[in-house]
A and B are shown apart, each in its own frame.
Chain A
Amino acid sequence: METGDLVAVWATETGVPQKFEWRGHSYVVCGHPVPWVDRLPWWSLGQEGPLNALEQQMWRVSGVNPDTGHVTCVDLAVEEPSWWRLASIHE
């Protein structure tokens, strides 16, 4: 399973991703990365106490593998500043 993989990300000061490494491959971000916000369903997480809205910061990026020229479009979930998680792949 590829989703859930940790991805190392290099981003600008304002958090815009510029380069990422995934499964040993490097990708340079091309095009316009799109910031978006996803949501975790609090109603099925069995939480108690004060609930919060549980959002997940995301980036949809297209990265080009400089060696192969292959472009991959992925959704990355922002977790740590430099380690993000692969959420989905779009062809």
Chain B
Amino acid sequence: MSTGFVHLHVASCFSTHFGTAWPEDFVLAQSLSPAAALTDRDGFYGVVRHVRTCLEVGISPIVGVDLCVGSHDRVRLDSTRGTRAHNTYDGGIVGGQITVLAHGHDHGVGWASVSRLISAAHHDGVKNGPGTINRAAMVTPDRIPSLLCGDDGPCATILLGPESDLGQAVLASDVPRAKTLLRAWKSAFPNIVIEISSHYTQPGMSGSIPHAAGMFEMALASGTPFVLTNAVRYLHRDDAITGDLLDSAGRLQPMGSFDPQPNAQAWLKDAKSMRQVAEDVARYAGEPGLATRLYESPLPLVERCVVDPHEDLGWQRAKVPELEVIGLSGDPQKILDERCRGGLVHRWPRPNQDLLNQITDRLNTELRIIESFGFATYFLMVADVVDLIKGLKIRVQARGSGAGSLVNYCLGVSNVDPVENDLLFERFLGLKRETLPDIDIDVESARRHDVYYAVTRRYGSHRVALLSMQNQYKTRGALRDTGLALGLPNEKIDRTAKSLWRLNVSEISEALKSRPELAELAREVDADPRLRVLLNQSKRLYRLPRYIAMHPCGVILSDQHLLSLTPTQPSGLGIPMSQFDKDDIDDMGLLKLDILGVRMQSTIAYTLDEIERRHGDRVDVETIAFDDEPTFDQIRSTHNLGVFQIESRGQRELVGTMQPDSFADLVADISLYRPGPMKSNMITPFVEAKLGFRSPQCLHPRFRQTLGDSYGVVIYHEHVIRILADCMGITLGEADGVRRRLGKHHDDVEVEFRTRAAQRSDEHGRRLFTDAYIDRIWETMKSFGSFGFCKAHAAAVAVTTYQSAWLKTHYPVEFMAGIMEHGPGMYPKRLLLTEAKRMGIPIYGIDVNTSTDHYRVDEGAQGAGIRMPFIEIKGISGTEVRRLIEGQPYSSVLDVIQRGRVSRVTMQRLAGIGGLDSVSRGSSRGTILAQVRHLTARPIATPCEDQEALVDEDGVSTIVFPEVPDVDPLSAELDILGIDVSGHALDPWRGLLDEIGVTPVDQLLNLRNNSRVVVAGIRVSAMTSPSKSKKRVVFISLDDGTGVADCAFFDDAQHRVGPDLFRTRLLAVKGITRRTGAKGISINATEAWDFTRAVSQDTSHDI
């Protein structure tokens, strides 16, 4: 514990590949200090956790950042980018690192200035400058004065330590330069403090005692304030080893091939050790009497830099965009009220009086609760975002507990009727809370980025940021990087990682002992001490942050001060990414929307488009009734491939057993299909009650209606909430609070529950619940801490399930086209095709004239079917697809070659799967393939005088290719799914052919004229033409995958070969080469035979 000394320069594990300890652990280790600071490299990644832990422990937080500084020269080069004015800075700050500490207790100005400096460093800076590893950011010196000074002067302090340009000048004993730099810094910015820090490195190196003493002397001589730190990167001395592993991982070099940390002095030193440092530095500087002053030097800075989370950050206070941004003004609650009433009328055009009363009561209740939370603006914002998305014609719906809100339903944010489905608002917004509830919004996956851009345009880029997440080291990465550090051979590391990656590092030693499939690895580990070291030391990396990435769906929406709270860095999407992750958002009071791209929504949108294209109507799938019997027939058939959430094998079984016949059943199915309910036997009672095998066992008669939607089985959080509220005599909001505590604190809850339930009585003073009932109810409540499911969420999901099932039932062709196009769900394309065929939907293969770049519904010989798109051709490029489409329609194979302008390989593949059938006037596929190969071969053989042109003006081959049976008819599905069509039928024979001494066709040209040769291949053509001597000559062409060999059989050869000449498909031909031109060669054949039969006869055919 370091009591009494405050470390002001500390890097946590959020300094990628540098720090080794969690911010929380640093704070806990300093719980007896007045304050704790965090100054990670390049960002505020860990500061929210840091502040939170400081609050919990009761000490004051200080935050800052460690940044690289760009050089004067680099700024000049960068100004050609045109983003900022040319640097006019005199004297120049050249490189090095600085630490910037934010001032506090200044209404957040200090924090904001450092936050903006960090953002500038990421957006302006050059990645990976010389000598910097994994440093993504760099601050250019001219930015500092403007960003770090507020209206009242500077709001941060800059520390210049041993790694700063000043520090390096001192190290080099270049006093004039050091003085110049210090002057330049001071004239640029008033709050410069010289950081005295020593890790007792070897004298002459950076961070040695003499170096630190030199800095100290400099500070004293120039009258500059100074501060003692220890530039901390780990908690305990031995954690230096973790530091080594990270240094190695950051450089991708093993230990020993680069200069490692010079020692292990960079730990969070205790007071005694820091006092020693102060004494050693002071003594060496010749000022032993100043040791105490040096030791106490952090204190004035501490005072200036302590942050007040409430005053400076609005800790846990909700920050939502200003109403004006969405074009509204006035009282948000009133506006919300009006919008809801308008929405109500839209949702229920003709309610009867009872229903209307019910809905209005419910609406009033919700609005009152929202008013008490002060969240009206939040709801209006979310509704605005949803309207924005709808305006882009993108499908959208909310999921999660927010789907249970009538306000959301009236606003069009959710699509589930909460009254009809008996959902609870309190599940969404229960007990009073400061932080905003999470809301998940499903959108079409294909258009998710469009949504991001639209939200940014609407709210302004200073109010919107993407959420980030820190990818952590897991077992595989930990083993790999540790193995790399240890210099183990790659192959060994790979094997070990492959066997163990599914386990947690802590489970490995046990697993090695007990699991039979790891026995071999266990033996290896016993034999090789390096592997033992690997397994032990890799634990150090486990769970440490490894790299930051964009969160897959989180978007932060805030007021105009967002960038004062969070630094941002580029995301790759053109929208900045916050350095905060999902755990930081709540405490900072920021609103987070999870905008999830759901492929099924894209599928549904695509299906609706196809329906419109083919039938002219726009089906509104949001208004279909939830009681369509054919749809339920479809669902009950369990042929649910493609239906949202119920297509797995397990679901097939559940649906098959349960036989859903209402929307409520679907909601139950989705809630029950989870490990908890499945293991704990919730399904059986449900199914038995539903199918009438036994009467529903109700927990208590009072709950008959509550549990009516699930045949008496408690499934939903909403059930638990209602039951708890009734048993304990508390409000629904309070009941939700109790429900949340059921998981962890059920002993306390039990006492409360039993007491209150026993006290509940009716108007005559009789107890409502007997002890027996209380026991029974409690037992059920206890287990529902973990197994219950949020009905609102299940209902939102069920809406999509129902919609997809409805579309599959009523528009199967369009729906399956949508499924193939967007591929949602778990099954590979091959199975989707099989399903389509099972449904009787014809699948039309790729056709050069009718295929496009999407799966489309097409009318064909067998009616409406799905036309396969060009993109399914293996290896085809986007450009080729575009060209093919642009050139449609084609009239012949030659036309396709000439105007389609795709590669030879693509042409061959197109031919091979029948894509050219429609322009080939009935030729067989093998013939077409041969044609294509001829026509696209380079160089094309120069025709001889007595040979006619290969093709006439129409592109029809002049050579009569008699029909050749197709080689290995490849079924459409296999071709289209990208099995390599150019896998050749000859492949199984290549070994044999090599033995015989066959020459590949593409090497024939290398032979001298009149060489004896044997070729072999698939016969692709056989034709006869009279020779000059009036005796028939047979020309046989063989395709061996490298080319086509033309073989001529004159009379005597014909006799020798016999009928095989025309019957055999796979042929070997012996003959003599004959050049027919510069690049032409043919073979005068002397013999031919079916080599597939010749295995035992090859001696007679040796050359």
Contacts and interface: CB of A to CB of B under 8 A. Distances in A.
Contact of A36 (B202, B254, B487): B202
Given A34-B210, A44-B256, A39 B262 contact: yes
Contacts of B202: 36, 38, 58, 60
Contacts of B201: 36-37
Contacts of B238: 50-53
A81 interface: no
B208 A34 contact: yes
A35 B280 CA distance: 8
B241 interface: yes
B955 interface: no
Contact of B240 (A44, A47, A53, A60): A53
A41 interface: yes
A41 B255 contact: yes
A2 interface: no
B255 A36 contact: no
Interface string A48-79: 11111111001010000000000000000000
A44 B265 CA distance: 20
A31 B261 CA distance: 28
B280 A42 contact: no
A37 B261 CA distance: 11
A38 B259 CA distance: 13
* Most chain B beta-carbon contacts within 10 A, residue among A34, A48, A49: A34
Contacts of B485: 43
A38 B536 CA distance: 25
Q: How large is the interface on B (under 10, 10 to 19, 20 to 34, 35 or more residues)?
A: 20 to 34
A55 B284 CA distance: 22
Contact of B256 (A37, A38, A41, A47): A41
B676 interface: no
A25 B202 CA distance: 26
Interface residues of A, number: 23
B256 A34 contact: no
A32 interface: yes
Contact of A32 (B254, B284, B529): B284
A37 B209 contact: no
Interface string A15-37: 00000000000000000101111
A69 B887 CA distance: 96
B695 interface: no
B1012 interface: no
Interface in B466-497: 485-487
A23 B314 CA distance: 69
Nearest to B262: A39
Interface string B189-204: 0000000000111110
B532 A34 contact: no
Nearest to B244: A43
Contacts of B284: 32, 34
Given A41-B256, A55-B264, A36 B241 contact: no
Contacts of A43: 244, 254-256, 485-487
A60 B205 CA distance: 13
Contacts of A35: 200, 209, 280
A59 to B, nearest CB: 10
Contacts of B203: 34, 36, 60
B263 interface: yes
B645 to A, nearest CB: 49
A46 B486 CA distance: 10
Given A43-B244, A43-B485, A53-B237, A36 B200 contact: yes
Residue among B203, B208, B209 having the largest count of chain A Cβ atoms under 10 Å: B203
A39 B256 contact: no
A47 B209 CA distance: 31
A58 B200 CA distance: 9
A32 B533 CA distance: 41
B533 A37 contact: no
A25 B185 CA distance: 50
A48 B532 contact: yes
A32 B244 contact: no
B258 to A, nearest CB: 12
A7 to B, nearest CB: 18
A53 B1003 CA distance: 64
Contacts of B254: 43
B652 interface: no
A73 B17 CA distance: 37
Nearest to B209: A34
Nearest to A53: B264
B283 interface: yes
A44 B202 CA distance: 21
Given A32-B284, A42-B241, A43-B485, A37 B265 contact: yes
Nearest to B239: A53
B113 interface: no
Interface in B487-534: 487, 529, 532-533
B405 interface: no
B168 interface: no
A58 B209 CA distance: 12
Contacts of A49: 536
Contacts of B533: 47-48, 51
Contacts of A58: 202
Nearest to A43: B255
B828 interface: no
A41 B536 CA distance: 17
B260 A37 contact: no
Nearest to B240: A53
A51 B208 contact: no
B602 interface: no
A43 B529 CA distance: 12
Nearest to B248: A43
Nearest to B199: A37
Interface in B915-965: none
B537 interface: yes
A58 B254 CA distance: 27
Contact of B263 (A38, A47, A51): A38
Interface in B199-255: 199-203, 208-210, 237-238, 240-241, 244, 254-255
Contact of B537 (A34, A39, A51): A51
B178 to A, nearest CB: 20
Contacts of A39: 260-264
Contacts of A54: 264
A51 B485 CA distance: 15
Nearest to A39: B263
A42 B248 CA distance: 14
Contacts of A44: 255-256
B263 A37 contact: yes
B283 A53 contact: no
B131 to A, nearest CB: 21
A34 to B, nearest CB: 5
B282 to A, nearest CB: 11
A38 B264 CA distance: 9
A36 B208 contact: yes
Contacts of A50: 238, 536
B11 to A, nearest CB: 17
B299 to A, nearest CB: 25
A39 B256 CA distance: 12
Interface in B518-575: 529, 532-533, 536-537
A55 B263 contact: yes
A48 B486 CA distance: 12
20 contacts: A32-B283, A34-B210, A37-B199, A37-B200, A37-B201, A37-B262, A37-B264, A38-B202, A38-B262, A43-B485, A47-B533, A48-B529, A48-B536, A49-B536, A51-B238, A52-B238, A52-B241, A53-B237, A53-B264, A60-B203
Closest 9 CB pairs of A and B: A53-B264, A43-B255, A53-B240, A37-B200, A37-B263, A39-B263, A34-B203, A36-B200, A52-B238
Given A37-B264, A37-B265, 18 more contacts: A35-B280, A36-B208, A38-B202, A38-B262, A41-B255, A41-B260, A43-B255, A43-B256, A43-B486, A43-B487, A48-B529, A48-B532, A50-B238, A51-B241, A51-B536, A53-B241, A54-B264, A58-B202
